[in-house]
Chains A and B, each alone.
Chain A
Amino acid sequence: MQSTDLDNKITGRRRVVQKSLEYACYSAVTLTAILMIIFFATLGYRGIGAFTQTKIEVDVVEVQSTSKKSINEAMYRLVKEPDRTTKKGLRQLVTPNAYSTIDITEAGTYVLVAHTNVDMYVKGVYDKLTDSQREIVDILISDGKIYRTWNWSFWTNSDSRSPEIAGIWGAMVGTFYTIGLALIFAFPIGVGCATYMEEFPKKRNSWAYDFMEININNLAAVPSIVYGLLGLAVFIQFFGMPRSASLVGGLTLGILTLPTIVIACRTALRTVPQSVRDASNGLGASRLQTTMYQVLPAALPGIITGTIIGIARAIGESAPLLMIGMVAFILTAPTSILDPATSLPVQIYLWADSPERGFAEKTSAAILILLLILVTLNLLAIWLRKRFEIKWK
């Protein structure tokens, strides 16, 4: 009975410590969650506008010699006998891009993308319209001639000087090429490297082994911009590959991901028990056969999970790409890995840096998309691990 008393006293004091620790952890988690929610809410609030677009319906009565003239004529018709300044204001309600993208060959109703100032006014972000412009816009809104629609062109367009028509397609394609190349480059080398280090340890004392061991363990901690410098020096200056191309970006990000893949792959190989190798070797398999038929397949879920996480990191990288010139202003999506390209994070950087207010919502929207991609990849990695991981007995 005495000892129970003593226990209770100790437990009492312990309980206080334990409880306060519990609360500390709990509040830390809550705080993080709240910050995350604020972060996403802000991004969502700011970026949601980018997914809609303001359109103007105009009636072309007489086709002029050029589309530009036809559009302008149609705009002038919105006001009775406009003077020079009103005409100028009218012209500026439509994106300048319409002149080159819309081909007007016959009379009829055309739907044009509104100028960013109109777009921002309609979305209630800011009002830079002149008094006469605002008057016309208000009338057109109430007539249903100016309205908001889904902004499909945000997905299908590339960058532009005009925020109202700028899209992320070019950056998406650039990211796809770059990451695809990084994967093609880094996955086989990384897996091969890890396999050599884990499964063929005959030459543990060789300089090659030591060299790799030191490299791998330190490379993972190198700041990413250093990889950019490396890419610049090696691929562009030494090998003479084209600047700004996804080829160079892919190789650079490949090197950046390599240590992550190697480390993940080595960990995955180490979780395969020695008994599996013994069993295979004992049946007369060569070391290579054992590795290819038993060890690597058993380690594959871990290898793929690690690779996805490495690739997710590479997708979010912008610093190394800035160094190798993938910060170019890309008006059309690259069609080959040698074309100048940019990537999603760099596009975000470019838009965030633009003075036009219209790019602000594009920036937030692009960040949202990037985060969505990263979250998806990480969930995929978790799912793969849960689904295919082998529970060794």
Chain B
Amino acid sequence: MEIETRNTLTLTKSQKIEVRNLNIWYGDAHAIKDASLKIRKNNVTALIGPSGCGKSTFLRALNRMNDFIDDCVTKGSVGIDGTDIYRTQYTNVNNLRKSVGMVFQKPNPFPKSIYENVAYGPQLHRMHESKAHLDEIVKNSLQKANLWDEVKNRLTSEAFSLSGGQQQRLCIARTLAVDPQVVLLDEPCSALDPISTNAIEQLILELKKSYTIVMVTYNMQQAKRISDTTAYFHLGEIVEVGATKKIFGNPNHRSTRAYVSGEFG
């Protein structure tokens, strides 16, 4: 079964995720219609499109977070490194979510200390050999999220005491702590001020060296600034995919052109 799946998904070397004919329903509502998309390794892929077009739904399909929604039905295939996470009955969905991490729109730290927030994932997966090792993981993750210098002296204080932008970077650190390969970000800056937004953008550019990044964004400028590939969604369909330069410079579709030029949204 697994071999068969591997064969059906043509995998090129730089390709991390391949979505094929993905269809998602919420009850009777068809939220994603026959979407196909290839996502390259160490790239930032931006998902753009008007509100309600299914960007979040699509993103959540990539680590099966939609499983938690009762009436959500998914058909089609999502191959990660050539393994269809839906068809092979991925033996361990929890491990999938460990390797495909997610950062949400609103910073959502746990009501615990900064340290505990980052340590939670590694503890969950028993990734640490000792307390010192766990400290090390926490430190590394916070460093990767460009937060270490700001919080190193207050690791035990409440995560809620951080500013919104710091909280979001904490959430990114928390995701990085379980050593994922793909990081999904759903409008990570929409609740943040311009300075925090800039900090997160710089961070994403750094992270793409080691991770594959898929992000939903409302902000055209942001997509333009940091993404390599852009996919434009409209009413549940992927209308156009291409290099970001092309999508913003010279898109093939009229509706893409209208959207990126700010005619509607």
Q: Are A283 and B171 in contact (CB under 8 A)?
A: no
Q: In the complex the two chains form, what is the Cα distance from A298 to B120 in whole Å?
A: 14
A275: chain B residues at CB < 8 Å are: 104, 106, 108
Q: In the complex the two chains form, what is the Cα distance from A285 to B160 in whole Å?
A: 22
Which of B1-9, B91-99, B240-248 touches A? B91-99
In the assembled complex, A84 has its CB within 8 A of some CB on chain B: no
Closest to A287 in B: B68
Q: Are B97 and A390 in contact (CB under 8 A)?
A: no
B124: chain A residues at CB < 8 Å are: 283-285, 289, 293
In the assembled complex, A157 has its CB within 8 A of some CB on chain B: no
Q: Are B104 and A282 in contact (CB under 8 A)?
A: yes
B174: chain A residues at CB < 8 Å are: 279, 283
In the assembled complex, B102 has its CB within 8 A of some CB on chain A: yes
Q: Given the known A-B contacts A279-B110, A294-B110, are A285 and B70 also in contact in the complex, defined by CB atoms under 8 Å?
A: no
Q: In the complex the two chains form, what is the Cα distance from A220 to B94 in whole Å?
A: 39
Q: Given the known A-B contacts A279-B171, A282-B65, A282-B102, are A390 and B95 also in contact in the complex, defined by CB atoms under 8 Å?
A: no
Q: Are A278 and B95 in contact (CB under 8 A)?
A: no
Query: Restricting to A342-393, which residues have a CB under 8 Å from any CB of B?
Result: 390-393
In the assembled complex, B251 has its CB within 8 A of some CB on chain A: no
* Chain A-chain B contacts (Cβ-Cβ < 8 Å), number: 66
Closest to B94 in A: A284
B17: chain A residues at CB < 8 Å are: none
CB distance from B61 to the nearest CB of A (A): 13
Interface size class of B (residues with CB under 8 A): 20 to 34
B111: chain A residues at CB < 8 Å are: 276, 298, 390, 392
Q: Given the known A-B contacts A201-B70, A202-B70, A286-B94, are A280 and B120 also in contact in the complex, defined by CB atoms under 8 Å?
A: yes
In the assembled complex, B76 has its CB within 8 A of some CB on chain A: no
Q: In the complex the two chains form, what is the Cα distance from A352 to B121 in whole Å?
A: 61
In the assembled complex, A188 has its CB within 8 A of some CB on chain B: no
Closest to A275 in B: B108
Taking a contact as CB atoms closer than 8 A, the residue among A284, A298, A392 that contacts B121 in the complex is A284
Number of interface residues of A (CB under 8 A): 24
In the assembled complex, A273 has its CB within 8 A of some CB on chain B: yes
Q: Given the known A-B contacts A281-B97, A283-B97, are A276 and B108 also in contact in the complex, defined by CB atoms under 8 Å?
A: yes
Q: Given the known A-B contacts A282-B63, A283-B174, A285-B124, are A273 and B97 also in contact in the complex, defined by CB atoms under 8 Å?
A: no
Give the interface centre of A202, A281, A289, A390 by most chain B CB atoms within 10 Å.
A281
B104: chain A residues at CB < 8 Å are: 275, 278-279, 282
A294: chain B residues at CB < 8 Å are: 110, 120
In the assembled complex, B101 has its CB within 8 A of some CB on chain A: yes
Query: Restricting to B123-180, which residues have a CB under 8 Å from any CB of A?
Result: 124-125, 160, 171, 174-175, 178
Closest to B125 in A: A284
Q: Are B94 and A285 in contact (CB under 8 A)?
A: yes
Give the interface centre of A202, A285, A391 by most chain B CB atoms within 10 Å.
A285
Query: Restricting to A311-363, which residues have a CB under 8 Å from any CB of B?
Result: none
B102: chain A residues at CB < 8 Å are: 278, 282
B109: chain A residues at CB < 8 Å are: 279
Q: Are B98 and A283 in contact (CB under 8 A)?
A: yes
Q: In the complex the two chains form, what is the Cα distance from A390 to B112 in whole Å?
A: 10
Contact string against B for A residues 248-285, beta-carbon threshold 8 Å, 1 for contact and 0 otherwise = 00000000000000000000000001011111111111
Q: Sample 12 A-B pairs with CB under 8 A, ordered by A number.
A: A275-B106, A276-B110, A276-B111, A279-B108, A279-B174, A281-B65, A282-B101, A283-B101, A284-B98, A284-B121, A289-B124, A294-B120
- Which 6 pairs between the two chains have the least Cβ-Cβ distance? A284-B98, A275-B108, A282-B102, A284-B97, A283-B121, A284-B94
Given contacts A279-B104, A279-B171, A392-B111, 14 further A-B contacts (CB under 8 A): A201-B70, A202-B70, A275-B106, A275-B108, A276-B110, A278-B68, A278-B102, A278-B104, A279-B109, A279-B174, A282-B63, A284-B97, A284-B121, A298-B110
